Amino acid sequence: MSIDSAGFGTILIILIMAVVTLVTRWGGVFVMSFVPINYRVQQFINAMSGSVLVAVLAPLAVTGDNGARLALLTTAIVMLLLRKPLPAIAAGIVVAAVFRQI
Amino acid sequence: MLSIDKGSVELGLRDVWFGFKQLLPISLFVIVFGIAFGLAAAQTGLEDASTLLMSALVFAGAAQFAVLDLWGEHVPILPLIVTVFAINARHLLMGATLYPWLRDLPLAKRYGVMLVVSDANWAMSMQAFNRGKPGLGLLLGGGIALWSAWALGSWLGLYFGSAIRDPVSLGLDMVMGCFLLAMVLGGKKDLRMLIIWTVAAGSSLLAYWYLPENSHVVVGALAGGLLGAVWMEKKIEH
């Protein structure tokens, strides 16, 4: 089944996207409201919050070009040294940009 | 995060404004992403008004770019739903991780704040919460900043898209990656966390290679979370 992307169809497609996205934004909170928050659940949440980010980053680092890898490496080093996110992010982007010009 | 103190869940105008300002620097980059999206959407054949409507209502960059790939005279419904859901499924996990700080809010506020949840403001608010600092303002105010930047960027892209023809050569595709990495490293680091992250990264990669497309974030995050639930920190008695 598919939607004709002309005219009203476009609006329908956008509404479907919006509803599906809203379900993901609300669903996690909704489900958790039925889960008793004990120590184990807190530990799960705590471990998962960092893991979400790591899971986003891993393929980026492994399958990305060398510009991407150098950018992440630079951000990591600056962040560990200075503990300030903005200079770390800026350094990473600059390194990627410079490396890709070469 | 054992005891959640009252101060960390307050949400006044001042907190929202503070959060808005905190996320402004990253929002500037989001404007650039938005410009790239506006340009790509126009090139795909979307009408200007549709592009703006999509960015305003959906507010999820990666999913929106992916839908452009599906775009044609006819757009298949099931792949559309599956793609958008899979890419945005990480929101489910973000909502779950935020729940302990949202549960004391009235329903309208609780779900209202979640309307603007996105990677950057979620990461910053979680970092604040885990340090016992207020984070709801970062979530809502930061979300408003990111949403405005995304909508503004998409609009600018319709007219000035050609100004940023090649965001990759400028390193702009790495903004979110570097930002998220900085957030990871700014959090608590010990041997237990490091092992949990290694498992999350490994599972994410395996899912990336061997499981259906876009499943890697959920798989990696759940693997890390489950390990954390099985291998718990020693409880600190108060």
**What are the residue ranges spanned by the domains of chain B?**
13-187, 189-231
What's at B61, amino acid-wise?
A: G
Q: Are the beta carbons of B77 and A45 separated by less than 8 Å?
A: no
- CA distances (Å), A8 to each of A4, A15, B50, B68, in order? 8, 11, 10, 17
CA–CA separation, B231 and B158 (whole Å): 50
**How close does chain B come to A36, measured CA to CA in Å?**
10
- CA distances (Å), B201 to each of A28, A29, A56, B86, B226, in order? 22, 25, 8, 18, 14
CA–CA separation, B109 and B94 (whole Å): 17
For chain B, residues with pLDDT lower than 70 are 1-10, 164-165, 236-238
The pLDDT, as a whole number, for residue B176 is 81
Give yes or no for B151 touching A (CB within 8 A): no
Q: What is the mean pLDDT of residues A15-40?
A: 95
B237 or A2: whose pLDDT is higher?
A2
The pLDDT, as a whole number, for residue B52 is 97
Q: Are the beta carbons of B96 and A3 separated by less than 8 Å?
A: no
Q: Are the beta carbons of B225 and A45 separated by less than 8 Å?
A: yes
| CA B187 to chain centroid | 17
Burial of B78 (0-12, 13-18, 19+ CB in 10 A): exposed
The pLDDT, as a whole number, for residue B213 is 86
The pLDDT, as a whole number, for residue B2 is 47
Question: For residues B192 and A92, is the Cβ–Cβ distance under 8 A?
Answer: no
pTM of the predicted model over 0.90: no
Cβ-Cβ contacts under 8 Å, A6 against chain B: 73
DSSP 8-state class, residue B116? T
Q: Are the beta carbons of A4 and B73 separated by less than 8 Å?
A: yes
- Going by C-beta distance under 8 Å and a sequence separation of 6 or more, which residues neighbour residue A36? none
Q: Are the beta carbons of A58 and B208 separated by less than 8 Å?
A: yes
The pLDDT, as a whole number, for residue B116 is 97
The pLDDT, as a whole number, for residue B1 is 45
The pLDDT, as a whole number, for residue A42 is 87
Q: Are the beta carbons of A37 and B1 separated by less than 8 Å?
A: no
Give yes or no for B131 touching A (CB within 8 A): no
CA–CA separation, B84 and B82 (whole Å): 6
DSSP β-bridge partners for residue A3:
B75
Domain boundaries, chain A: 1-35, 48-101
The pLDDT, as a whole number, for residue B7 is 57
**How close does chain B come to A81, measured CA to CA in Å?**
11
What's at B29, amino acid-wise?
A: F
The pLDDT, as a whole number, for residue B43 is 87
Residue of B115, B123, B103, B118 whose CA lies nearest to B34: B118
- Give me the residues of B, 22-41, that contact A with CB < 8 A: 25-26
**How high is the mean pLDDT of chain A?**
93
Q: Are the beta carbons of B76 and A54 separated by less than 8 Å?
A: no
**How close does chain B come to A6, measured CA to CA in Å?**
7
